[in-house]
Chain A
Amino acid sequence: MTASSAPVSPWPARLRGLAGALISLALTLLGLLFVTFIISRVVPIDPVLSIMGQRASDAQIEEARVALGLDKPLWHQFLIYVGNMLRGDLGTSIGSGEPVLQAVARVFPATLELATLATIFGVLAGVPAGVLAATRPGSLADHLVRLVGLMGYSMPVFWLGLIGLLLFYGILGWVGGPGRLDALYDMQFQFEVTPVTGMILLDTALAGKWDMFANAFSHIVLPAALLGYVSMAYISRMTRSFMMNELGQEYITTARVKGMPEWRVIWVHAMRNVLVPLITVIALSYAYLLEGSVLTETIFAWPGLGSYITEALGRNDMPAVLGGTVVVGVAFITLNLVSDLLYRLVDPRAR
């Protein structure tokens, strides 16, 4: 079932597929830019006034409007916008005057680190839970997995974050508090470690500062576990349904009849096929964490992309908001592409 006969001429088909993927990628990007641009122009906020505030004279305001290119027709502004984006110029933050690309490069690793760890937690917990539920449908374990998953779906992350912080940091003292490190370690980190990746766990490990690494881990473990919980809820549900589907197939029965150990039937034979759709699920939930951790980042004082965009929004700093949004969009599209490629790798039929 899994191995199909080799295609007659794989290359042209593969190239065609790649070209198609690239074209759809370009169109998606253009669409993303169009939507963000339109949003920035229809919001009922005068970008100039929000920068200049109470004091500026009318002449100064007009001057700023021209400087920002806001006096040009909309289509012209859009062309300039796309042109800038293609050159990697995400604009300049109105508030800080810092290029958005530079700011994003600084804050994105923090989000990436959090989302990656959360996804690892989510997969490590979600896949076995889903498999467990699928192999014992209707059992207590199945109901438990469903209940835990449902809670993950329905509880607001904001609330979970606050309660988690209060319980595990405030009362029990098991984990580090908000922020990426304790104050003392944070200061040492800034002076003693040269950031390579911007991800503290990696940077401290690379520098061999294991006490700092442990401290960083104690800080990231709670927000990552909470976000991981949310993605686990999704992953376990999907794993369960994919696995149920596979376990009903003939090849599984055949394998069992041949006397193969059950764990091999599940984890090797069935899992190989479950993995195909599961990769897309995991990639999507990973992408969701990259943009969806906004509230978690605020509560945990996590200096990532989510906090950056939220705070920019609070200041009506549209270039920063849009630049951040575009980066999230690109991350989404990239992950989609990666899951597409992995899908081809794992599923021989897609080769």
Chain B
Amino acid sequence: MFLSPILRHAGVAATAALMLGTAPGVLLAETPPDTLVIADAIDDIVSLDPHEAYEFSGLDVVNNVYDGLVELDPSQPTGPQPGLAESWSVSEDGMTFTFKMKPGITFSSGNPVTAADAAYSLQRAVKINKSPAFILNQFGWTAENVDQMVTADGDTVVLKTDKAYAPTFLYNCLTAGVASIVDMKTVMEHDANGDMGNEWLKTNSAGTGAYVLKSYKPNEGYILEARAGHWRGDAAMKAVFMRHVPEAATQRLLLEKGDIDIARELTPVDIEGITGNADLKIQKDVGGQIFYLSFNQKNELYKNQKFLEAMRYAIDYQGLAETVLKGSMVPHQAFLPNGYLGALEDTPFSFDVEKAKALLAESGVTAPKIVMDVRNATDRMEMAQSIQNTFGQAGITVELNIGEGAEQLKRYRARQHDATLQSWGPDYPDPQTNAGSFAWNDNNADDASTGTLAWRNSYDPGPLNDMTAAAVMERDGDKRAAMYRDLQEQHRTTSPFIVMFQIGYNSAMRGNVSNFFTGGAIDSAAYWLVTK
């Protein structure tokens, strides 16, 4: 009555079609055996030009598609290894470095790799002057002089620096993505209005890496294809398919179903949820980001060493890491992240209310009150609330000033904060990156343009300035590492900084996936060693 007879039949047919369309038979349960499928949030990618990429996800691509003169070993990223250069030497005066190129390597285009390509690449990185260019500018290379400072001579590349820096400083910086070697001929063919191929390289590749960029769609994903006959040996995974999946719960579901091999952005709750699943495994790593409290020394209170020390014992580092942060961070108490040359791995400060109280009494400060700026992100607010609680137990009142990240940064940069909970990620794989900011401030005036973290906290490092300056020039690698350890020992007991945590990476993967390296604190992900 209610439906016409024809419609009724059509309805049955439509329902049947729907059910057929969604029948399980159409679905593929597993990822192809020679393809690695990864889910990650990759909306941070700005560019895939190796001389412009400066975000985690972009650098992951660069690491697999390009090589540098020197490289880090993904499985053991401790120090520079030969990359496209087979050997190198430094002159007596410490200002000229000569790299001898490995013979017989080709770009994905088939063009042979020459010293001229290497020189062109470093010149290009300086000339196009994108975000990471400053890493190379540190050696006195400018757009005007880089053609003279970086030259090719037969099968060698000669790099001149403006001062006799620590050789390890240069080598470490050459392992960064910005020092990737590109195929000069191919890149120049794609030059548009003198951009040195920048527009083209944003979404294409011209490198020597184990993979070639086949496709990149912003906010959707990218596909890398392995090169046959690669100089490192053929990669087991013939293709890498990265899917942009912003939601952690969705990543987890995809992984549990076997539709992806690796999930890189799971929350601690998800990690807990899949623990015990026999089909999956979890790989723990640390990243380069560190979390710290800092105190503005415009407030005289924060020049009181005993008071600073009292606060160092009033934080529940271990408890926070285990309960609130659930492994998303690990306790770490010096400004160089683990993995860096000269990093301090010990954690001398622990939560001790009685000791904090005693130190507070010794300091002569009565009823102290701190206003702490905190970004409105869940993990930071939870961290801040715990600190507020434990400081309170020690007799230190904390008022939290919670706000939007960029606004808080504005206050911090203008030295308007009292205290702040912040994070900091290193810029390049050399200790100078953090030492030069945490322990360097040669002009503490309000109108100075120093801008380092020390300056923002009105902190005059005094003798630590000289130690920082000396460490970046030290030519003996071991001695240099010792200098950074010494510098951090003094920094963590005298500065208005309390470094608390280093970020942890939890990569969850199918049980059959092996040899996936995230690059830890100083390098990026490597796909060419993965097997499954």
Interface stretch of the complex, out of B43-51, B117-125, B189-197, B475-483: B43-51
In contact, A175 and B22 (Cβ under 8 angstroms): yes
In contact, B257 and A183 (Cβ under 8 angstroms): no
Q: When each residue 96-131 of chain A gets 1 if its CB lies under 8 Å from chain B and 0 otherwise, what string results? A: 111000010011000000000000000010001001
In contact, B47 and A97 (Cβ under 8 angstroms): yes
Known: A96-B46, A176-B27, A183-B35. A303 touches B249 (CB 8 A): no
**Across-interface contacts of A250 in B (CB, < 8 A):** none
Interface status of A196 (Cβ within 8 A of chain B): no
**Across-interface contacts of A191 in B (CB, < 8 A):** 214-215
Known: A96-B218, A165-B253. A54 touches B409 (CB 8 A): yes
Interface size class of A (residues with CB under 8 A): 35 or more
Interface status of A31 (Cβ within 8 A of chain B): no
- Across the interface, A218 reaches (CB within 8 A) one of B26, B37, B218, B246, namely B26
Name the interface residues of A58-85: CB closer than 8 Å to any CB of B.
Answer: 58-59
Interface stretch of the complex, out of B94-102, B138-146, B162-170, B237-245: B237-245
In contact, A53 and B409 (Cβ under 8 angstroms): yes
Interface status of A190 (Cβ within 8 A of chain B): yes
Q: When each residue 444-459 of chain B gets 1 if its CB lies under 8 Å from chain A and 0 otherwise, what string results? A: 0000010100000000
Interface stretch of the complex, out of B1-9, B385-393, B494-502: B1-9
Interface size class of B (residues with CB under 8 A): 35 or more
Interface status of B407 (Cβ within 8 A of chain A): yes
In contact, A218 and B22 (Cβ under 8 angstroms): yes
Q: Which residue of A lies closest to B412 (CB)?
A: A54
**Across-interface contacts of B219 in A (CB, < 8 A):** 107, 303, 307-308, 311
A263 and B2 alpha carbons, distance in the complex (Å): 5
In contact, A263 and B27 (Cβ under 8 angstroms): no
Interface stretch of the complex, out of A4-12, A42-50, A233-241, A335-343: A42-50
For the complex formed, measure the closest distance between the CB of A321 and the CB atoms of chain B, giving whole angstroms: 13
Interface status of B104 (Cβ within 8 A of chain A): no
Interface status of A281 (Cβ within 8 A of chain B): no
In contact, B247 and A299 (Cβ under 8 angstroms): yes
Known: A44-B407, A177-B257, A182-B28. A299 touches B249 (CB 8 A): yes
Interface stretch of the complex, out of A15-23, A166-174, A284-292: A166-174
Interface status of A221 (Cβ within 8 A of chain B): yes
In contact, B449 and A183 (Cβ under 8 angstroms): no
A134 and B162 alpha carbons, distance in the complex (Å): 85
Interface status of A298 (Cβ within 8 A of chain B): yes
Q: When each residue 229-255 of chain B gets 1 if its CB lies under 8 Å from chain A and 0 otherwise, what string results? A: 000000000010101111101100110
For the complex formed, measure the closest distance between the CB of B112 and the CB atoms of chain A, giving whole angstroms: 28
Interface status of A86 (Cβ within 8 A of chain B): no
For the complex formed, measure the closest distance between the CB of A75 and the CB atoms of chain B, giving whole angstroms: 25
**Across-interface contacts of B23 in A (CB, < 8 A):** 174
Interface status of A255 (Cβ within 8 A of chain B): no
In contact, A173 and B427 (Cβ under 8 angstroms): no
In contact, A307 and B26 (Cβ under 8 angstroms): no
Q: Which residue of A lies closest to B41 (CB)?
A: A311
Interface status of B21 (Cβ within 8 A of chain A): yes
In contact, B243 and A183 (Cβ under 8 angstroms): yes
**Across-interface contacts of A307 in B (CB, < 8 A):** 219, 246
By a beta-carbon cutoff of 8 Å, the part of chain B in contact with chain A is 1-4, 7, 14, 18, 21-24, 26-28, 31-32, 35, 37, 39, 43-47, 214-215, 217-221, 223, 239, 241, 243-247, 249-250, 253-254, 256-257, 259-260, 404-407, 409-410, 413, 424, 427, 449, 451
User: Can you offer 7 A-B residue contacts whose CB atoms are under 8 A?
Assistant: A44-B407, A46-B407, A54-B424, A169-B257, A174-B24, A190-B223, A263-B4
Not counting A174-B23, A217-B21, a sample of 19 additional A-B residue pairs whose C-beta atoms are within 8 angstroms of each other reads A46-B406, A53-B409, A57-B449, A57-B451, A95-B44, A106-B217, A106-B218, A107-B219, A169-B257, A174-B24, A176-B27, A177-B254, A178-B245, A182-B259, A186-B221, A215-B26, A299-B250, A303-B220, A303-B244
Which 10 A/B pairs are nearest by Cβ-Cβ distance? A50-B406, A303-B220, A301-B245, A183-B37, A263-B4, A311-B43, A214-B26, A178-B250, A217-B21, A49-B406
